[in-house]
Amino acid sequence: MQRKLIAMTVAAVLFSFGAHAQNAATETARDTDQQKRIEQGLQSGQLSTREAASLEHQEKRIDATEARDMKDGKLSAGEKAQIQREQNHVSADIYKDKHNAVVGNPNSVSSKRMQADVQRNVNQEARINQGVRSGQLTNKETASLERGQAHVDRAEAHAGANGHVGAGEQARIQGKENRQSARIYNKKHNDAVRTTMP
């Protein structure tokens, strides 16, 4: 009887850790998808630079929420639900902005700069998601990296708020992206690994 109780307790703990890991993978995958939709909208002209900047401001809030909620290494059902509500709200705004009367010029210098910045976001979020799924990133490490993504998103939102992204603004954003890229690499290649897989 005691062995059965111990076995059930161990199974419950392992399931709990696996569920937390799965939550992080699911949420970081959605981050990647949202950034892809923003990039596609810029490339097609469905999104203006100003609209993309506004969406990046909202993405900053999601990344900050993920960073806060995962910093203890866990992601509860309530925290996951809150993140999903925020992501659903941004998803609806992406759709609305892509289907309104405002159009962007995908060939303008500002749009090209914003496209390049958002493409970096896609790549960074995909690398984070891959690290979560492979076990290279713990939830605490993921929280730290999502905090970094929030800083990048904030810089993009600020740069494009007036509808124009200047060369100096893009250089500052790219500097933040380069630092974030190095942080992702370092955290994926350190000795910290998640002990359970999603």
In the chain, where are the structural domains located?
44-188
Eight-state DSSP code of residue 141: H
Amino acid at 178: N
Q: How many residues does the chain have?
A: 198
| Under 8 Å between Cβ of 92 and 34 | no
198 residues of the chain, pLDDT tens digit each: 666 555 555 444 444 444 444 458 899 999 999 999 999 999 999 999 999 999 999 999 999 999 999 999 988 999 999 999 999 999 999 999 999 999 999 999 999 999 999 999 999 999 999 999 999 999 999 999 999 999 999 999 999 999 999 999 999 999 999 999 999 999 999 986 655 444
Question: Backbone phi, then psi, for 43, in 5-degree steps?
Answer: -65, -35
Neighbours of 48 (CB within 10 A): 24
Nearest one of 50, 43, 21, 12 to 129, comparing CA atoms: 21
What is the distance between the alpha carbons of residues 117 and 171, in angstroms, rounded to a whole number? 10
Q: pTM for this one? A: 0.85
- Widest CA span of the chain, in angstroms? 71
The per-residue DSSP string of 67-92 comes to: HHHHTTS---HHHHHHHHHHHHHHHH
